């Protein structure tokens, strides 16, 4: 199994928190074991084994995969949540929702399909804390 040091590292990683502040633009995919809060804009996918919290000023153009999520901003993409998804009254989602449990406050809107009570695959975040990498064939370089 795990030794004490490995358990401590895994616990520290899962307890970490990340914040994308208001007025910040991030282009690219985000992967983390810890919580992530977005008040700015993300153009790319977000994946976490913990919770995603999207504030009122947030905008995400990409897919979200998380254990839990609270959305008060805008999302253009698929939202997959393994446990509980909470849509606050200011939430606007343009895309499909796949979740185990869903709470929708009055005023929240989404345009897309919704599947509930679905058992979602395990969320995998890279290998040993490193981002998953897909191997692409590199062009052959020839010296002339």
CB 100 within 8 A of CB 86: no
> What pLDDT does 11 receive?
57
Q: Which helix or strand (DSSP H or E) is residue 14 part of?
A: helix 4-14
CB 104 within 8 A of CB 88: no
> What pLDDT does 6 receive?
57
Q: Is the pTM of this model over 0.75?
A: yes
CB 54 within 8 A of CB 34: no
Q: Is the pLDDT of residue 4 over 70?
A: no
CB 57 within 8 A of CB 41: no
Domain parsing of the chain, residue ranges = 4-116
Q: Is the pLDDT of residue 103 over 80?
A: yes
> What pLDDT does 140 receive?
47
């Amino acid at each position: 199994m795990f030794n004490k040091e490995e358990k401590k590292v895994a616990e520290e990683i899962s307890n970490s928190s990340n914040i994308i502040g208001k007025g910040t633009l991030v282009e690219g995919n985000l992967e983390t074991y810890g919580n992530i809060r977005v008040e700015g804009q993300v153009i790319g996918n977000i994946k976490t084994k913990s919770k995603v919290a999207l504030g009122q000023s947030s905008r995400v153009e990409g897919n979200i995969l998380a254990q839990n999520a609270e959305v008060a901003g805008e999302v253009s993409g698929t939202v997959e949540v393994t446990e509980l998804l909470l849509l606050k009254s200011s939430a606007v989602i343009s895309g499909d929702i796949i979740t185990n449990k869903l709470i929708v406050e009055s005023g929240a809107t989404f345009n897309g399909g919704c599947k509930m009570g679905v058992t979602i695959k395990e969320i995998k975040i890279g290998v040993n804390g490193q981002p998953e990498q897909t191997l692409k064939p590199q062009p052959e370089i020839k010296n002339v």
